[in-house]
Amino acid sequence: MSPDAQSSNQPSKKDVSIGAYLLGRLKQLGVKHVFGQPGDFNMGFLDLIEDDEGIEWIGCCNEMNAGYAADGVNRVGVLVTTFGVGELSAMNAVAGAFSEMVPVVHIVGTPSTESQSQGALLHHTLGNGDFKIYHKMYENITVAQTVLSHHNAKDEIDRVLRECYIHSRPVYISIPTDICVKKIAADLSQPLVLTIPENVHEVEYAAINRVIGRIHKSANTIVLIDACASRHDISKELLDFINKTGFPFFTSPMGKSIIPENHPLFGGIYIGSVSEPHVKREVEEADLIISIGAIRSDFNTGGFTYHVSQAKTIELCYNRIKVFFATYEGVSMKHALPKITACIERMPSSTISPPYQHNLLEDDVKDQRITQNWFWHEVSSTLLQENDIIIGEMGTSVFGLMDIRFPPGSTFIGQILYGSIGYSVGACLGASLAATNVKERRRVCLFVGDGSFQVTAQEISTIIRHNLNPVIFLINNNGFTIERMLHGIKRKYNDIAQWKFDQTLEYFGGSNEVGRTVKLATKSDFKSFVSSILPATPSRIQFVEVMMDKYDAPRALIGTASFTAEEHMKEKVLPMLHEKLHKKEVSGEQ
Amino acid sequence: MSPDAQSSNQPSKKDVSIGAYLLGRLKQLGVKHVFGQPGDFNMGFLDLIEDDEGIEWIGCCNEMNAGYAADGVNRVGVLVTTFGVGELSAMNAVAGAFSEMVPVVHIVGTPSTESQSQGALLHHTLGNGDFKIYHKMYENITVAQTVLSHHNAKDEIDRVLRECYIHSRPVYISIPTDICVKKIAADLSQPLVLTIPENVHEVEYAAINRVIGRIHKSANTIVLIDACASRHDISKELLDFINKTGFPFFTSPMGKSIIPENHPLFGGIYIGSVSEPHVKREVEEADLIISIGAIRSDFNTGGFTYHVSQAKTIELCYNRIKVFFATYEGVSMKHALPKITACIERMPSSTISPPYQHNLLEDDVKDQRITQNWFWHEVSSTLLQENDIIIGEMGTSVFGLMDIRFPPGSTFIGQILYGSIGYSVGACLGASLAATNVKERRRVCLFVGDGSFQVTAQEISTIIRHNLNPVIFLINNNGFTIERMLHGIKRKYNDIAQWKFDQTLEYFGGSNEVGRTVKLATKSDFKSFVSSILPATPSRIQFVEVMMDKYDAPRALIGTASFTAEEHMKEKVLPMLHEKLHKKEVSGEQ
């Protein structure tokens, strides 16, 4: 994520409307699309967007979906809503971006300064004359907030956008209708300052010294990469460190693909006790673990089953370094890591096993039905390609994906921490638009279960309307399998309504010619479909319904559920599913 | 809204789980359906619901829709969500219920007491160990909140349900997973106390005296009824007052149908300057206006264009009476109004004109195209029947409905104050289920525009899944006509994607046999459709797509926009539309 450079010859200051200034700054952050819904308090701002050559308005079906789309662009995303009804509809999406550390700028069109100061009983209010209440609610889920006025607009816009970028978290900008068109003298040719402050020299020096000392004492060091390494943009620094030291590295599920998985030093995915046995052993038996950007949430750690002692762990975070039990506050890894790399030579380390060793099971190959385990193996070995954007919905999809090999250059989008179902369909819209920003349009592959799909399904129409071309795999397994694994496996509340999923493109696209729909019930169906789309990125949207059993789940989900499910499930159901997984493996594609 | 009487012979106290106690109390409030989505922190509670004979779980496609459904039952509605992702998705729906004063009980399943006290990094959190943050956000949009514990559960459940009922506003109940199944000694045969406290005698006496004195001095008194009369449950008391005094009454748009519109004293809908001229004259020229339960929001008052002096207005509210400029705080109309009625005789009053006088215009009858004006006349004169539940979406629908005659016994559901688009489809689910609670299933008619429909469209599948049978009119006019009237009439951001709306039932119902779909392009089409379904309530869902022009709008919307739209619209566009409305009227059906 880096802002587009702007080398402009504009005169130093000129009159520009506040709305236009905001758009100018957003474009400097690389923003090309703005997501949202029109409402009478934001349409003045939408006029500016619609008339702007460099930025495109993407009207969504509702604001939650628009929020997910803004999250899915995988750099600074922008969401525009209207006062009250719009901004509250988007609350869950913005909270998700806050939790997962995604930089989303949420711009809310609000009633005019005059109406607000009068406490007018306008529509979209709570009927109590309080115009600050929604803003106040947003303080809980954004890292900076502002209400623009004629006086403060320039400084405030710069401040909150900087906070958004630096902390990689959502911010909230309220623009009253009358303020949007007010002119200010402003100089867009002065770029936003987006660098984070240097570390305090003495503290950083002490921390680095300690880190290097520990590294030199260890005979067997591994690196464990997690999500904050990408959120705080140190993948390049990290790759340099790994290449120079020669340390094997493992990643958490949320850390997948930050360093390409075809790297010779890649050891696999560490998910605590849910890991493949060889990965678990290699991580937990290391002398020293250098943990980069950790987010130790339940589903990212196999249900809190890390067996990694703090007494042999060095943690690098965006705002501190911790060596065993000593914390060096305020030392950012962004500045410290290159200095560590510079001070260290290639180190001896133990050899590691190939990262992915789990093979197909008897159950997976005994007939033509598509099992979860077979499906994810196949996705990894035959479908995914270099530079794919891979989106996984919370559910069997994300647990299936966390356990398979991703191709080099790929990007992984999912909500393993926040876990809001329906996220992936909105995110697919954002990611598909972002994929058009590069010369060779990247392919987007979305994996979503039927229950989650129903949450936000209508956004498929926006994907179609903008001629985007993701490959969408809808896993039709009649409901919430992830919930079944945790509680109430046979309960009706985990069932869903059956839709005619194979009419999705026709219904939401207004025509039966907008894309291609296929329904896959057998392994041969899947193989034919994959060979039909390879190797090129399909030119039209592909909607692929894959039939699976409602009680089947990927290995990592069954494993995680074994630690987090209700007692009945832990005692009775999951052991049976586990047993199935431990049947004699047969040779598979991988 | 009144709770079901409970005359039970249960022993005075017995052990019951906290979840079961809550369900017991809800059933005493008349609750038959609970709306929501399963999540791993609420499934223990869902087990109890699924196993309960007297209450039904209605799994929705997402929580916002579920919140709208709970709002639409038109008595105490119940919404169950999961921690974080679920409750935040429902935020806009609950805020709408707060604004519009609808009693919704929002029950959130939260992580176990132990996980919360440890600050565990669970999924659905913001990753900061703060388990109180969502609850805190909800304090802004609910009238009472609680976190249940083993110790407080019984009292707290009773307290918040009482607050919900008395204030007719949402409440928030958080149940940690471990608490739901804990047993308490509780006596469900002791009913909840739901009456509001008596007024302080002296203050009430002074207020009533003043009111009666003013009434006796007036030669020409009218009553103006608004939404709080139904929200605070005084329609019976009000009807007695009107019948006894013989005062003509008018209603605001939000006050429609609280007293049947076929009442001989009904004078019409008062919408400030947007009113029919005779209504405006009769209200504004009265000597004395008795205003009951006023909510003077913009869209309820023709854009704040009441011309009714406070110096001749008596206001009765749920918690105070105001006579001209003197306020009597704490005097509730619920107790005071019957006493006023008892003290007063039939009064002389001026004759009033028939309530609805606007006729069809030349444009409406010149050809077969369906105009907005023609459509709403026709809905009123041929479609609507006694006891219908009429739901109008914010947009042309609600403005069309606010201006037409409703049949006796009908109920009007719409969000004229909060105005969140998409509300009506969710509300239709709730209302349709509530309509099955009475012996002769009431007919539900939903009117929704295409843009609003897309916000929450998937909930049609839940309506189908439960074999409900509303008549759904989808106004297909290619986008947000209400927004076009206010700003950017030709802007692309007010356009929407075109769906195959005529495949709605088939797509969401999973079959082409779940109901009937018709597409109406002409007046004859509409008339044939209406005669095909009358007089019985259809046994299956009817999905009726009505084609209309994107620049056509109902009279009341054009009128309101004339006061609230942007300058360009006020100066250029709306006068043209207005002019059309003032062309010579032709004789119409009404």
pLDDT tens-digit readout, B92-108: 999 999 999 999 999 99
Structural domains counted in chain B: 3
Q: Pick the last residue of a domain from A163, A186, A209.
A: A186
Mean pLDDT of chain B: 92
Buried b (16+ CB within 10 A) or exposed e, A526-540: beebbeebeeebeee
Test A298 with B121 for CB contact under 8 angstroms.
yes
A196 — contact with chain B (CB < 8 Å)? no
Contacts of B498 in chain A (CB under 8 A): 510
B494 — contact with chain A (CB < 8 Å)? yes
Judge if B387 and B297 occupy the same domain: no
Judge if B538 and B406 occupy the same domain: yes
Test A499 with B510 for CB contact under 8 angstroms.
yes
Taking only residues 377 to 406 of chain B, the set having a beta carbon closer than 8 angstroms to any beta carbon of chain A reads 394
pLDDT tens for B511-527 read: 988 999 999 999 999 99
Which residues on neighbouring strands pair with residue A520, listed in sequence order?
A546
Which residues on neighbouring strands pair with residue A414, listed in sequence order?
A392
By CA distance, what is A99's nearest residue in B?
B126
Q: Does the residue B357 lie in any domain?
A: no
Could you give the CA distance from residue A100 to residue A394 in angstroms, rounded to a whole number?
13
The CATH number linked to B68 is 3.40.50.970
Q: Pick the last residue of a domain from B186, B209, B231.
A: B186
What is the extent of the structural domain holding A176? 14-186
Could you give the CA distance from residue A210 to residue A212 in angstroms, rounded to a whole number?
6
pLDDT tens for B555-572 read: 999 999 888 887 777 777
Q: Does the residue B395 lie in any domain?
A: yes
Test B461 with A133 for CB contact under 8 angstroms.
no
Judge if B502 and B573 occupy the same domain: yes
Taking only residues 274 to 303 of chain A, the set having a beta carbon closer than 8 angstroms to any beta carbon of chain B reads 295-299
Could you give the CA distance from residue B250 to residue B283 in angstroms, rounded to a whole number?
8
Sites in chain A below the pLDDT cut of 50 = 1-11, 584, 587-590
**Burial, A341: exposed, middle or buried (Cβ in 10 Å; 0-12, 13-18, 19+)?**
middle
Q: Does the residue A524 lie in any domain?
A: yes
By CA distance, what is B130's nearest residue in A?
A140
Give residue B540's identity as a one-letter amino acid code.
R
Angle value at C-alpha B585, between B583 and B590, nearest 5 degrees? 145
- Which of A127, A299, A493 faces B59 most closely, judged by CB atoms? A493
Test B506 with A483 for CB contact under 8 angstroms.
no
A127 — contact with chain B (CB < 8 Å)? yes
By CA distance, what is B96's nearest residue in A?
A126
Contacts of B62 in chain A (CB under 8 A): 64, 422, 454-456
Judge if B142 and B233 occupy the same domain: no
Give Cβ neighbours of residue A109 (< 8 Å, ≥ 6 apart): A39, A41, A42, A43, A44, A45, A80, A81, A82, A83, A175, A177, A180
Q: Does the residue A332 lie in any domain?
A: yes
A490 — contact with chain B (CB < 8 Å)? no
Given a contact cutoff of 8 angstroms between Cβ atoms, the answer to whether A63 and A37 are in contact is yes
* pTM: predicted TM-score of the whole model, two decimal places: 0.95
Buried b (16+ CB within 10 A) or exposed e, B568-583: ebeeebbeebeebbee
pLDDT given for residue A394 in this prediction: 95
Q: Does the residue B590 lie in any domain?
A: no
CA-to-CA dists, residue B153 to B39, B42, B169, B190, B191, angstroms: 22, 17, 21, 16, 16
Buried b (16+ CB within 10 A) or exposed e, B486-500: bbbbebebbbbbbbb
Supply the residues of B annotated as catalytic: 40, 63, 123-124, 419, 450, 477, 479, 483
Contacts of A461 in chain B (CB under 8 A): 454, 497, 499
Strand order, beta sheet including B77-82? B56-59, B33-36, B77-82, B104-110, B171-176, B144-147
Q: Which of B522, B476, B512 is nearest to B497 (CA)?
A: B476
Q: Which of A137, A476, A501, A567 to mutate to test the interface with B (most CBs of B within 10 A)?
A: A137
Q: Pick the last residue of a domain from B126, B156, B186.
A: B186
Judge if A405 and A536 occupy the same domain: yes
pLDDT tens for B288-345 read: 999 999 999 999 999 999 999 999 999 999 999 999 999 999 999 999 999 999 999 8
A59 — contact with chain B (CB < 8 Å)? yes
Q: How many CB atoms lie within 10 A of CB B450?
A: 25
Judge if A335 and A368 occupy the same domain: no
Could you give the CA distance from residue B590 to residue B580 in angstroms, rounded to a whole number?
19
Could you give the CA distance from residue A36 to residue A34 in angstroms, rounded to a whole number?
7
By CA distance, what is A496's nearest residue in B?
B59
Taking only residues 242 to 281 of chain B, the set having a beta carbon closer than 8 angstroms to any beta carbon of chain A reads none
Given a contact cutoff of 8 angstroms between Cβ atoms, the answer to whether B432 and B57 are in contact is no
Q: Does the residue B37 lie in any domain?
A: yes
Task: Using the predicted structure, report yes or no on whether residue B587 has a pLDDT greater than 50.
Answer: no
> How far separated are the first and last CA of chain B, in Å rounded?
33
Judge if A217 and A323 occupy the same domain: yes
Test B92 with A96 for CB contact under 8 angstroms.
no
Contacts of B136 in chain A (CB under 8 A): 140
To the nearest whole Å, the CA of A434 is away from the closest chain B CA by 20
Judge if B430 and B561 occupy the same domain: yes
User: Residue A81 has which token pair?
Assistant: 């809503």
A534 — contact with chain B (CB < 8 Å)? no
Supply the residues of A annotated as catalytic: 40, 63, 123-124, 419, 450, 477, 479, 483
pLDDT given for residue B6 in this prediction: 44
User: Residue B180 has which token pair?
Assistant: 């739901």
Contacts of B137 in chain A (CB under 8 A): 91, 137, 140
pLDDT tens for B243-282 read: 999 999 999 999 999 999 999 999 999 999 999 999 999 9
Test B57 with A492 for CB contact under 8 angstroms.
yes
In terms of phi and psi (left: phi > 0; alpha: psi -120 to 50; beta: otherwise), the region of A451 is: alpha
pLDDT tens for B109-133 read: 999 999 999 988 999 999 989 999 9
Test B483 with A39 for CB contact under 8 angstroms.
yes
Q: Does the residue B179 lie in any domain?
A: yes
User: Residue B36 has which token pair?
Assistant: 């929501």
Cis check for the bond before A408: say yes or no (omega within 30 of 0).
Answer: no
Could you give the CA distance from residue B438 to residue A468 in angstroms, rounded to a whole number?
48
CA torsion angle for B35, B37, B40, B44 (degrees, to 10)? 20
Judge if A331 and A372 occupy the same domain: no
By CA distance, what is A56's nearest residue in B?
B493
To the nearest whole Å, the CA of A154 is away from the closest chain B CA by 25
Test A487 with B40 for CB contact under 8 angstroms.
yes
**Residues A229, A76, A16, A115: is their CA dihedral positive or negative?**
negative
Judge if B182 and B206 occupy the same domain: no
B181 — contact with chain A (CB < 8 Å)? no
B122 — contact with chain A (CB < 8 Å)? yes
Judge if A56 and A126 occupy the same domain: yes
Buried b (16+ CB within 10 A) or exposed e, B433-449: bbbeeeeeebbbbbbbb
Given a contact cutoff of 8 angstroms between Cβ atoms, the answer to whether A250 and A282 are in contact is yes
Give the DSSP letter of residue A196: P
Judge if B496 and B380 occupy the same domain: yes
Q: Which of A354, A74, A340, A106 is nearest to A227 (CA)?
A: A74
For the stretch A19-24, contacts whose Cβ atoms lie closer than 8 Å and that sit 24 or more positions apart, written own/partner, are: A19/A44, A19/A45, A19/A48, A19/A175, A19/A180, A19/A181, A20/A48, A20/A52, A21/A153, A21/A154, A21/A157, A21/A184, A21/A186, A21/A188, A22/A107, A22/A153, A22/A157, A22/A173, A22/A175, A23/A48, A23/A49, A23/A52, A23/A55, A24/A188
pLDDT given for residue B174 in this prediction: 98
Q: Does the residue A352 lie in any domain?
A: no
Could you give the CA distance from residue B58 to residue B465 in angstroms, rounded to a whole number?
10
Q: Which of A514, A426, A461, A501 is nearest to B499 (CA)?
A: A461
**Burial, B396: exposed, middle or buried (Cβ in 10 Å; 0-12, 13-18, 19+)?**
buried
Test A62 with B494 for CB contact under 8 angstroms.
no
A85 — contact with chain B (CB < 8 Å)? yes
Test A98 with B126 for CB contact under 8 angstroms.
yes
To the nearest whole Å, the CA of B244 is away from the closest chain A CA by 33
- Which of B120, B296, B510 faces A121 most closely, judged by CB atoms? B296
User: Residue A502 has which token pair?
Assistant: 């194979």
B129 — contact with chain A (CB < 8 Å)? no
Q: Which of B34, B35, B89 to mutate to test the interface with A (most CBs of A within 10 A)?
A: B89
- Which of B88, B454, B465 faces A497 most closely, judged by CB atoms? B465
Contacts of B491 in chain A (CB under 8 A): 38, 43, 46-47, 50
Rounded to the nearest 10 degrees, what angle do helices B333-342 and B201-217 cross at? Answer: 50
